[in-house]
Structure 1
Amino acid sequence: MHLPKRYLITAALPYANGLKHIGHLAGAYLPADIYVRYLRAQKRDVVFVCGSDEHGTAIPIQAMKEGTTPQAIIDKYHGIIKQNFADLSISFDIYDRTSSPVHHETSREFFTMLNDAGELETKETEQYFDEQAKTFLADRYIKGTCPNCGYDSAYGDQCEKCGTSLSPDELINPVSTLSGHPPVKKKTTHWYLPLNRHEEFLRQWILEDHKDDWRANVVGQCKSWIDGGLQARAVTRDLDWGIKVPLPEAEGKVLYVWFDAPIGYISATKQWAINNGKDWEPYWYDKETKLVHFIGKDNIVFHAIIFPVMLKLHGNILPDNVPSNEFLNLEGDKMSTSRNWKLDMQDFIDDFVNRENGGPQLVDALRYYLTQIAPETKDSEFTWKGFQDAVNNELVAIFGNFVNRAFVLMHKLTHGKVPPLHNELLDEKDHEMMDEIKKAKARIENLLEGYKFREAQFEVIDLARKGNKYMQEKEPWIKAKKKDAADATPEQSAAFQREIDNCMHICLQLCANLAILINPFLPNAARKMIYLMKVVEKMLDWENAGSMKLLSVGYSLRAPELLFRKIEDMEIQEQIDKLKNNSLPVPGEAAATTAEPAIAPVTDAPGHTAIKPTIQFDDFAKIDLRVGTILAAEKVEKADKLLKLSVDMGFETRTIVSGIALHFSPDEIVGKQVVVVTNLAPRKMRGIESNGMILMAEDAAGKLHFVRPESMINAGSGVS
C-alpha cells in the first residue's frame, strides 16, 4: 500500500454562537481524533486542524438575544468550545478562529483569485429590505407563517416547529425581526459560484472515482444534488458582520459564511505553520498529501461538492475522503437546542469530569460510548441507560477487569514482576492467545484505515474479552494452591510455578498490547496503563502492537489501580430527570396539554405587591439564569446600598454591582452561591460596569434573602 507523505485532517468548524452538544462531538470531532491518534502512533506526518466559525447571521442574532455585541459572542463561545474539546481529549494541532487576521487575508485572496480568473459571476436579484432599519435582511432576520404547518414564527430559512427548509419568499406575511415591519423587495447585486459549470467534473470525481471508497450516505447525497442539476450559489451577501468583499463596488457586502468557513482549514494550517516554523503549502498543494474532512451529514454538500470546486479552481489538492456521520438522537428524540433537548459537552464536563470521582476516566467513558454508538451508517441514539451499560458491562467488567486481574495476580503469584516465559511448556491455549494478539493488530489497523471506528473499538474490547477467557481457563490461582499444597513435591511445585509464569507473562504482554490498541480511542486509559507498567510513552507506537516482548522479564510493575469506575443508578436518574425537567415545548405548541386561565393582576391583597402584566413563555425563555459563586465582595465608595461582587460563572468571572449592602456585609457573602441573570445588558453604576443581576427575595419585613440552590452545585449551572 502506497502511503502519502503527509496527512491533513480537518473537523467541521463549529459555529461560535452557543454551546455544542455531544451530537456534534460524535459526528465529526471524536472520529477525527481517533483517526489522528492512530496516524500519530504510526509516526505519520499529520496535522489536525479545526477552529471556530465566527461569521454569518447566527452570530449577531445571538448577540441580540444576549444583549451584547457579535465580537463578545464569538470571544465567549470560542473560548468555551476550545476548552470543551481540550477537556474531552480532542487533540487538535491547532484550534483557530475565522475572525483572525490570517483568515480574513486568506479568504479575500481566495475570492480575488477566483474573481480575477473569471470563475465567479455577478447577478442582480431582488431581496427583502427593511426600510426602517435600512438594511437587507438575511433569511434569519425574517419571520412569518410557515406554509407547511401554519406556525406563525417560522424563520426565512427554516420552520423550527415542523423542520421544513424554507426561503423567505415562501413565508406568509413576512416581517423583519429588526423592526417588526413588513420588508420590501429591493434590487441588489451579488457574486456567485456557478456550480453548474462543474457538473461533469463532480460526476466523474465523486460518482465514479470515489463511489467505492466513500461512505454510501456521502455518495448518495452528492448524486441527488448532481442529478437534480447544480445551480449558481451566491458567495456574497448584504451584512455588516463578516469578511468585507475586497472590491470597491461591493460596499456593504461580506463573503457568505459558507464560502469563507471552509477556507478556515487553510488559514488554520497557515497559522499552525507560523506557530511551529513550518511550511504550510505542501499540505494544500502537494498531491502526496492526503486531505480528509470529518463532518456531519448536514455538511456533506459543502465539503464534497462546493468546497472541492473552490479548491480545484484555486489549484489546491482535493479531499481523499469525506467521512460523514449521520445524526445522534437523545433518549428517543432528535437533539434540539431550541427545545433544550440536548446534552452539551459543558454539561457532561460539569456533571461528570469535574466532579469528585470524575476526571479522565469519565472522559474516556464518554468517548467509548459515543464510538460504540457512532452513527456511521444511520442515525443512532444516546441513552443514559445505554451509557451506564456500556461503561459498567464492558469498560469495567471486560477491559478494566482483565487489566486489574492481571496486575493483582502478578503481585500475588509472581512477586510483582514480569515472570519468564517457559517456551517448552506452552500449550494450545497459550499459542492461541498469543496468535490472537498478533492477528488483532492487523484487523484493527484495517478497520481504522477504512474509517470503521465502531468495529475497530469492538475488536480491542473483544481482545480483552478473550484475555479474560484465557485467564479463566488457565486458572493460575488454582495452580498456586496446588503449588503450595503440603503434599506437593519440589518438582511439582516448580512445574506449577512455570505454568503460572506462562499464564501471567502472556496476560501482562496482552495488557501492554491493549494499551497500544486502545490508545486512539481511550488515550487517558492508555496513559494510565503505561504508568502502571512503568514504561515510556514510546511504547504506544503502533509498530509495537502484536509483540510479545513489550515488558521485560523480571521488571517490577506498579500496584493495580482501577482504570474505570462504575456509573451508579442515581447518577443516571439525575441526568434523565434533568433532561426532562429542563426541556422546552416544540415551538408553536403549549407547554402543557391543558391551558390554564390567565391570572388577573392582584391589586388589593394586603401585604402583597401587584402581579406584573402577563407575559408569554417566549419572553421568559429569553432570560438566561445561571448559578454563580461569589468570590469577593467590597463596598462601592460613596454608595451606601451598593456592593461590588466578583462572581464565578463557571465559564468566566463577572463583576456585578448589587444593591444589597444594607442587608449583608461583604465578609458574610463570600463563598455563597447565587442565581444570576447572565444575559442582562451591561450597566454602569458609580462608574463600575455591572454584568448581570443577582436574584433576591424580600420577606414581609423588607429583609432580602438570596435565591440559591439547596446545596452547592457547579458554577455556571443553568436555572430553569
Structure 2
Amino acid sequence: MEDRKIERPVFPKKAVITSGMPYGNKELHFGHVGGVFVHADTFARFLRDRIGSENVVFVSGTDCYGSPILASYRKIVDEGEYNGTIEEYVRENHEKQKEVLDKYEMSLNLYGASALDRAGEIHKEVSENIFNKLYEDGYLVKLSSPQFYDPDKKVLLNGRQVVGKCPIEGCTSEKGYADECDLGHQYMPSELIDPKSILSGKTPELKDVTNWYFKLDEYNNLLNEDNNYLKNNSNWRKYLLNTIEEFLKPPIIYVKRKLLDGITDIEDKLPKHTIIDEPKKPSISFVFENLNDRDKAREIFDKLGIRFRTGKTLVPFRLSGNVEWGIEVPEKEDLKDLTFWVWPESLWAPISFTKTYLESIGKDKEAWKDFWISKDSKVYQFIGEDNIYFYGIAEMAMAMALLGINSSDVVNWENINLPHLIANNHLLFMDKKASSSGKVKPPMARELLNHYTAEQLRMHFLSLGLVKKSVSFMPQAFMKEEDKQGPDTVLKDGNLLTNVFNRLARSCFYTAQKYYESNIPVGEISKEILDESNDAILTYERYMYNHEFHSVTYVLDSYIRKMNKYWVNNMRIAETNGDEKLRKQVLIDSFHAVRTTLTLIHPIAPNSSELLREYLNVNNKLWSWDYIFEPIYKFIDEPTNHRLKYLEPREDFFEKHESQLAN
C-alpha cells in the first residue's frame, strides 16, 4: 500500500469511549440505544480492532442520584406501587438497563452505577477529591441564590419540582425548571417565568440558599479560544462547535422596543454597556462587560417595571444542593449538609468508572491518567444534543481548572488534551420527539427486540445520519396497518447483511465444499478486486475517524453489492462454460471480499461476524487493522491442514428475526 501515498488518519495510542448516562428511574428506551449507545459501541469496537483491545476502555453507567430519581421513587412509594429502598429501586433499574445493553451486543468494559457497589465507592472518592482540588485552587465560590419554597407544603423545592417558562430569549422549550430548561439553558431561579410548584400547583416563594458554585463565567474567553482552535484544527462536528459558541456570548438583556417608549434616562442608570439597536428587530440588546453588571441592570429594569429577557451567557455553575439522595459535599467553612448536584458529579462519573474497571483488572490506581490525561490518549464522549452545555461548556472549563489552567492564562491549545465530544441530533419517533414525560411515549429498547434483531437495529440506527440532523425512527412493527407504506425502512440496511452478504458468503462456502474439499483456493487476488477492497478500507477508515457512521454504512453497501455482482456475473460464466480457471479465480477474489467485509462489519454486527470467522476457521488476527490489507491466508494457523467448517444448506450467518421468517 505504500505506493498509494494516501494520507491516513492518525489514531491515539489509548482511548476512552463514554456514552451518556441514563437516569436510574427508568428502563432504556429506543433513543438511549439508537441515539447514542450504538454509535459509541461501534466506535469502541472499531478502535479495539484498530489500536488493540488492551488500549481501549468503554464505560458508561446508570446516573443514580438527583431529584428526578428521588421524585420518581417517592411517587411510586406514595401510590403504593413500591415498598423497597431508593437504592433497591435504582439497582433494579440499573440491572434492567444492563440486561438490555447486553442484548444489543454492547461491549462495555464497565456499565457501572454512580451509587452502587465498588463503582459507587470510587465515585464518592473522586467527587470529594475533585471538589477539594477546585476549592483549594480557588475555583469555587459561595453564592446565596434564591431557591423556590412551597409555603403550602413548607419545603424547599428541588430543581424538577418547579416548572415554568424558560427566560432565555428565543428558547422554544416547553419545560423550564428551577435553574435550567429541558434544552439545557442555564439561568438563575429568579429569572424563571411563571413558576409553579408541582407539589401544590401554586406559585412558590423564593428563599435565599447558599451553595458552592464553580466560577464558570470566568472561563468564557478561554472556552471561546478553544472553540475557535477546534474549528480550524480538528474534526469536531461543526454544528456542535456552533452550538457551544452560542453559549459563549457576553451578558445581554433584551427589552422590547415598545417597553422603552417614554423612558429617557435609562442609559444613565445602567452599569457600563453597549446597545445593539437593529431597526428590523422588536427588541433592543443591552450588552454588559460581566455578569455582575448584567445582574445590576436586571434589578434596575425590575424596579422600573420593564419586562426583559436575558441571553445565553455563562453563569456560575452550581456544584451543590440540598437533595438528600446524593453524594455528600465535603464540609468547608460554614457550609454543611450539602450534596452534589447530579449534573456536575455525572460529568466526572466516567473517570470513576474508568478507575473502577482498571482496578478490577489489577491496574495501578493512577493508571486512569494514562487514558484520560496522557498526550498519547484521547477521550471520546458520545452525547445527545440536549447535553452540549454540560459537556461542552461546564465539563471543559472544570477540566481546564483541574489541569491547572487559570482563566487568565495564555494557552497553547495544541498541548491541551481535552475530551472529544460527539453529539448526535435527536432521534425522533414517527416524526415526533418522544419523551417518557411527554405526549409521545417512546418504545422501550427491549420491545424493539420482539420484532427486529439487535444487528438489524444497529445497522439501521447507524445509517440514519444523526450527525447531520434529527431523523425519525419509523418501524412498521409499531405502525397501524393503514399507515404502512412500502417496505419496512428499519430492515433496509440490515438486509445488506441478512440478504446480500449472506448470499456471497454462503456461495463461497458451498462452492469450496463442492469443488475444493472445503479448502480456500490459494492464488493471487485480481487487481480489480484488490483495488476495490483497499479503496473501501481506506474510505471506511476515514469515515470512522470522523464519526460519520452513516457514511460507513454507505461504503459497506456499495462494496458488498459490487462484490456480490462480481460473483454473480463471473461465476455464471464459469459454470456455463465449465471454466475451472475462472471459477477458482472468482472464488479466490470472493473469499478476499468476504475477508475484507468481515473485518469492516465486525464493529457493527459483532456476534454474527464472529460466527462467520469461526466457520472460516481463521484466527483472531483477522480483526486487527495491523493486517487489514493482508489476504485471508494470513489468518490460517495450519495452512496444510486447513478446512472450512462445514456449512449446512440454507444456513445463515446474519439471521433475520423469527417474526420476519414467519412472514
Q: Above 0.5 in TM-score? A: yes
Supply the distance in 2 between the matched residues of 1:330 and 1:567 (Cα, whole angstroms). Answer: 21
Which amino acid in the other structure matches residue 26 of structure 1?
G
Q: Work out whether 1:66 is the aligned partner of 2:162.
A: no
Give how far 1:320 is off. Answer: 4.5
The structure 2 residue matched to 1:537, chosen from 620, 625, 635, is 620
Counterpart residue number, 1:40: 48
The structure 1 residue matched to 2:31, chosen from 13, 17, 23, is 23
Give how far 1:509 is off. Answer: 2.2
The structure 2 residue matched to 1:397, chosen from 486, 489, 499, is 499
Counterpart residue number, 2:348: 263
- Structure 1 runs not aligned, ≥5 long: 354-361, 484-495, 574-720
Counterpart residue number, 1:564: 654
Q: Work out whether 1:416 is the aligned partner of 2:518.
A: yes
Counterpart residue number, 1:186: 207
Q: Work out whether 1:197 is the aligned partner of 2:218.
A: yes
Give how far 1:102 is off. Answer: 1.1
Supply the distance in 2 between the matched residues of 1:277 and 1:10 (Cα, whole angstroms). Answer: 21
Q: Is the 8 A contact 1:506 1:548 kept in 2?
A: no
Alignment of 1:195-234 (within 5 A): 195-211=216-232, 212-228=234-250, 229-234=313-318
Q: Work out whether 1:57 is the aligned partner of 2:67.
A: yes
Alignment deviations for residues 446-484 of structure 1 (CA, whole Å, 9 cap, x no partner): 2111211211232123221111111122125x533533x
Counterpart residue number, 1:330: 429
Give how far 1:403 is off. Answer: 1.6
Supply the distance in 2 between the matched residues of 1:82 and 1:442 (Cα, whole angstroms). Answer: 34
Alignment deviations for residues 218-238 of structure 1 (CA, whole Å, 9 cap, x no partner): 101111011243221221112
Distance 1:120 1:384, change over 3 A: same
Q: Is the 8 A contact 1:239 1:252 kept in 2?
A: no
Supply the distance in 1 between the matched residues of 2:113 and 2:417 (Cα, whole angstroms). Answer: 22
Which amino acid in the other structure matches residue 195 of structure 1?
L
Which amino acid in the other structure matches residue 106 of structure 1?
V
Distance 1:132 1:247, change over 3 A: farther
Give how far 1:110 is off. Answer: 0.6
Q: Work out whether 1:348 is the aligned partner of 2:448.
A: yes
SS at the partner of 2:329? coil
Alignment of 1:86-485 (within 5 A): 86-99=102-115, 100-131=120-151, 133-143=153-163, 174-178=195-199, 183-211=204-232, 212-228=234-250, 229-247=313-331, 249-278=334-363, 279-315=367-403, 318-338=417-437, 339=439, 341-349=441-449, 351-352=450-451, 362-385=453-476, 386-391=488-493, 393-421=495-523, 430-476=526-572, 478-483=573-578
Alignment of 1:596-675 (within 5 A): none
Q: Is the 8 A contact 2:457 2:490 kept in 1?
A: no
Q: Is the 8 A contact 2:465 2:548 kept in 1?
A: no
Moved more, 72-81 or 315-324: 315-324
Give how far 1:371 is off. Answer: 0.6
More helix as a share of residues: 2
Which amino acid in the other structure matches residue 470 of structure 2?
D
Q: Is the 8 A contact 2:148 2:178 kept in 1?
A: no
Supply the distance in 2 between the matched residues of 1:203 and 1:549 (Cα, whole angstroms). Answer: 49
Q: Is the 8 A contact 2:358 2:368 kept in 1?
A: yes
Q: Is the 8 A contact 1:136 1:239 kept in 2?
A: no
Distance 1:181 1:219, change over 3 A: closer
Supply the distance in 2 between the matched residues of 1:209 and 1:517 (Cα, whole angstroms). Answer: 29
Which amino acid in the other structure matches residue 59 of structure 2?
V
Supply the distance in 1 between the matched residues of 2:647 and 2:521 (Cα, whole angstroms). Answer: 16
Alignment deviations for residues 492-538 of structure 1 (CA, whole Å, 9 cap, x no partner): xxxx2122111111111221221111101111121011022122223
Q: Is the 8 A contact 1:296 1:326 kept in 2?
A: yes
Q: Is the 8 A contact 1:11 1:293 kept in 2?
A: yes
SS at the partner of 2:420? coil
State the identity as a percent. Answer: 25
Distance 1:323 1:414, change over 3 A: same
Q: Is the 8 A contact 2:17 2:379 kept in 1?
A: yes
Distance 1:291 1:140, change over 3 A: same
- Structure 2 runs not aligned, ≥5 long: 1-8, 251-312, 405-415, 477-487
Moved more, 59-68 or 548-557: 548-557
Give how far 1:369 is off. Answer: 0.6
Q: Is the 8 A contact 2:372 2:378 kept in 1?
A: no
SS at the partner of 2:509? helix
SS at the partner of 1:227? coil
Supply the distance in 1 between the matched residues of 2:122 and 2:347 (Cα, whole angstroms). Answer: 14
Give how far 1:41 is off. Answer: 0.8
The structure 1 residue matched to 2:590, chosen from 504, 507, 510, is 507
Q: Is the 8 A contact 1:28 1:296 kept in 2?
A: yes
Q: Is the 8 A contact 1:331 1:383 kept in 2?
A: yes
Give how far 1:28 is off. Answer: 2.3
Distance 1:191 1:571, change over 3 A: farther
Counterpart residue number, 2:94: 78
Counterpart residue number, 2:308: none
Supply the distance in 2 between the matched residues of 1:6 and 1:159 (Cα, whole angstroms). Answer: 36
Supply the distance in 2 between the matched residues of 1:27 and 1:187 (Cα, whole angstroms). Answer: 39
Give how far 1:380 is off. Answer: 1.0
Give how far 1:364 is off. Answer: 0.9
Supply the distance in 2 between the matched residues of 1:297 and 1:128 (Cα, whole angstroms). Answer: 28
Which amino acid in the other structure matches residue 41 of structure 2?
D
Distance 1:376 1:3, change over 3 A: closer
Give how far 1:406 is off. Answer: 2.1
SS at the partner of 1:475? helix
Give how far 1:197 is off. Answer: 0.9
Give how far 1:132 is off. Answer: 5.5
Q: Which has the larger radius of gyration?
A: 1
Supply the distance in 1 between the matched residues of 2:122 and 2:394 (Cα, whole angstroms). Answer: 22
Moved more, 453-462 or 74-83: 453-462
Q: Is the 8 A contact 2:59 2:350 kept in 1?
A: yes
Q: Work out whether 1:7 is the aligned partner of 2:23.
A: no
Q: With structure 2 as the length reference, what TM-score do the two structures score?
A: 0.75
Supply the distance in 2 between the matched residues of 1:158 and 1:222 (Cα, whole angstroms). Answer: 16
Supply the distance in 2 between the matched residues of 1:392 and 1:124 (Cα, whole angstroms). Answer: 55
Q: Is the 8 A contact 1:139 1:167 kept in 2?
A: no
Q: Is the 8 A contact 2:43 2:603 kept in 1?
A: yes
SS at the partner of 2:330? coil
Distance 1:40 1:173, change over 3 A: closer
Supply the distance in 1 between the matched residues of 2:531 and 2:586 (Cα, whole angstroms). Answer: 14
Give how far 1:368 is off. Answer: 0.6
Q: Is the 8 A contact 1:433 1:470 kept in 2?
A: no
Alignment deviations for residues 46-99 of structure 1 (CA, whole Å, 9 cap, x no partner): 111211111111011110232144323211111111121121111111112211
Q: Is the 8 A contact 1:145 1:174 kept in 2?
A: yes
